[in-house]
């Protein structure tokens, strides 16, 4: 035990020395330090709100743009954003939003209700290919439009009553609709810029409407945001500048924080988490997120498609997965092993559960499936993950568990973020690492994406009964009846297993104590417009 502590300490010291040069290099040549600096794990795929789906992108877009509503930093309830107020009809199906008369774009142009209508038209257009387009299936006529069944956007329930009034008509009451209006895919974009400038989302070109502007972007180095002088609430935006660093190495990121170059850090080398938890600037709490593996049911290889298409094989993979070993020995931050897909903490909703670790049953199921499929041995299976030390460690553990215990040949494949997303989108994988953070606090955000043809499905899973259950849940106003539909749907998902849940996230972050207005919440969403600095501690 003592030897392990010495070895770990030596490894950490060596890491400190190795990255010190990188730390100093990041500090060289900068014209003063930004008010707030944070590590964002990787390069954003895009700065177009309509087409992205990842946490790194959301962390940036929430500060460059603003929707009709803004999440409260404490409890996530919808606060007025571009809409200063709204009314909801008695039947819960009509929303009338009143756009601020002083709302402007960052170039001084007035922002109107038509900007939202046009931006949502673009978002729903099949030509845009937005993976989140199904978020709008709750809006009258939207599903037919984004699926290409209708080309008439006037049939979609989005109306401009006057320059400052936007009316949205829903198919049925949607209790989380105001949460959606503060979610980045529904942010407005500047029409003239998008239509006339191919570089519209780059520094010097991007016209946005949020509390900050895109001042500079150096690929694989940094993104610099500065305060937007045309923002409606500019008097209450205290940060003058924000610097975002796309650092993938957790060791480098930690050292940037320890050297005072970074103010906020949300990912760490797992091996030193027990030591970090002793620090007063280390924080942890519940998080509405699940780590899981996708199974490609549309595999281009017919043998792999046949093998992974058998639900007994997928159940065997789940039964042979020692989740407790993963959270105890790899992630090391008191995560909860996941035997269901919807994380705990959503109202009173209780999930069904998968059977626990049972290696004997896993082996029997696999042999039974191989015999029935006419296979003498299982095919080589690739586990795809994006560049990240933790993803690599988890993949290696499962390579050992499934390889040693089940005799399943496993090859690991690592890709950088953009390439990985493209591979998953094109179904160019066998099993792929994934995670989902709730877009709003409701079971639907974890379950509706597995509906047939969903933009974030990416498994090939299609079950008409599952689709019907999700639709029934979303048409039901009684919370308890609604949860029963979700329970049945999740039971079906755990039976069919197009995805295998591994563990539920917890928030973990280090925050410079001088930062004020930063609050823990279930989604780990922190709009930076609410932050301020105790400048006396500089």
- Of the candidate CATH numbers 3.10.105.10, 3.40.50.300, 3.90.79.10, 2.40.50.140, the domain formed by 288-506 belongs to 3.10.105.10
Alpha-carbon distances of 387 from 169, 295, 419, 433, rounded to whole Å: 42, 19, 10, 11
3-state secondary structure of 207: coil
- pLDDT, residue 535, reads 72
Question: Which backbone phi and psi does 84 adopt, to 5 degrees?
Answer: -80, -20
- pLDDT, residue 536, reads 66
**Mean pLDDT in runs of 10 for the chain (538 residues)?**
44 46 46 90 93 92 98 95 98 97 98 98 96 93 96 97 98 94 97 97 97 95 97 97 95 95 93 92 94 98 98 98 96 94 93 98 98 96 95 97 95 95 96 95 95 93 98 91 97 98 96 96 94 76
DSSP 205: T
The DSSP element (H or E) to which 167 belongs, if any, is strand 165-169
Question: Which backbone phi and psi does 15 adopt, to 5 degrees?
Answer: -60, -40
Characterize 82-117 residue by residue with b for buried, 16 or more Cβ atoms within 10 angstroms of its Cβ, and e for exposed.
bbbebeeeeeebbbbbbbbeebbbbeebebbbebbb
Could you give the CA distance from residue 95 to residue 447 in angstroms, rounded to a whole number? 25
Could you give the CA distance from residue 533 to residue 535 in angstroms, rounded to a whole number? 5
- Name 508's bridge partners: 284
pTM: 0.84
- pLDDT, residue 23, reads 46
Domain boundaries, the chain: 288-506
Could you give the CA distance from residue 211 to residue 217 in angstroms, rounded to a whole number? 17
């Amino acid at each position: 035990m003592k030897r392990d502590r010495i070895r770990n300490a030596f490894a950490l010291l060596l890491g400190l020395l190795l990255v010190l040069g990188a730390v100093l290099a990041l500090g060289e040549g900068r014209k003063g330090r930004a008010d707030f600096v944070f590590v964002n794990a990787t390069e954003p795929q895009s700065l177009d709100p309509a087409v992205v789906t990842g946490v790194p992108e959301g962390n940036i877009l929430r500060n460059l743009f603003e929707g009709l509503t803004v999440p409260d930093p404490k409890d996530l309830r919808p606060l007025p954003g571009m809409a200063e107020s709204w009314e909801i009809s008695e039947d819960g199906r009509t929303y009338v939003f009143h756009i601020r008369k002083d709302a402007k774009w960052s170039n001084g142009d007035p922002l109107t209700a038509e900007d939202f209508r046009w931006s949502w038209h673009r978002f729903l257009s099949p030509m845009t290919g937005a993976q989140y387009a199904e978020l709008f299936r709750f809006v009258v006529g939207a599903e037919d439009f984004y699926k290409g069944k209708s080309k008439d956007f006037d049939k979609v329930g989005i109306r401009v009553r006057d320059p400052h009034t936007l009316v949205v008509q829903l198919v049925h009451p949607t209790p989380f609709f105001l949460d959606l209006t503060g979610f980045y895919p529904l942010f407005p974009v500047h029409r003239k810029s998008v239509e006339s400038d191919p570089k519209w989302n780059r520094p010097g070109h991007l016209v946005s409407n949020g509390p900050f502007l895109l001042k500079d972007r150096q690929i694989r180095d940094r993104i610099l945001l500065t305060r937007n002088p045309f923002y409606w609430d500019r008097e209450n935006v205290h940060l003058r500048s924000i610097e975002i660093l796309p650092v993938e190495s957790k060791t480098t990121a930690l050292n940037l924080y320890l050297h005072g170059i970074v103010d906020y850090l949300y990912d760490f080398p797992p091996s030193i988490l027990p030591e970090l938890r002793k620090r007063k600037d280390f924080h942890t709490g519940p998080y509405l997120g699940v780590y899981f593996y996708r199974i490609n049911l549309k595999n281009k290889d017919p043998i792999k498609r046949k093998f992974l298409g058998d639900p007994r094989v997928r159940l065997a993979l789940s039964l042979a997965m020692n989740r407790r070993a993963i959270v105890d020995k790899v992630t090391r931050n008191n995560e909860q092993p996941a035997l269901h897909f919807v994380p705990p903490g959503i109202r009173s909703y209780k999930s069904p559960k998968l059977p626990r670790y049972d290696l004997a049953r896993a082996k029997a199921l696999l042999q039974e499936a191989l015999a029935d499929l006419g296979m003498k041995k299982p095919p080589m299976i690739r586990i795809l993950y994006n560049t990240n030390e933790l993803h690599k460690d988890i993949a290696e553990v499962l390579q050992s568990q499934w390889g040693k215990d089940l005799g399943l040949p496993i090859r690991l494949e690592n890709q950088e973020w953009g390439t990985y997303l493209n591979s998953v989108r094109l179904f160019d994988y066998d099993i792929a690492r994934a995670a989902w953070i709730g877009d709003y606090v409701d079971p639907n955000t974890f379950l509706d994406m597995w509906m047939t043809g969903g933009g974030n499905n990416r498994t090939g899973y299609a079950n008409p009964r599952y689709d019907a259950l999700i639709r029934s849940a979303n048409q039901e106003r009684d919370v308890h009846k609604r949860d029963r539909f979700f329970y049945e749907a999740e039971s079906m998902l755990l039976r069919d297993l197009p995805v295998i849940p591994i563990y539920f996230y917890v928030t973990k972050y280090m925050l410079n104590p001088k930062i004020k207005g930063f609050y823990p919440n279930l989604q780990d969403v922190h709009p930076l417009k609410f932050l301020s600095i105790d400048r006396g501690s500089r």
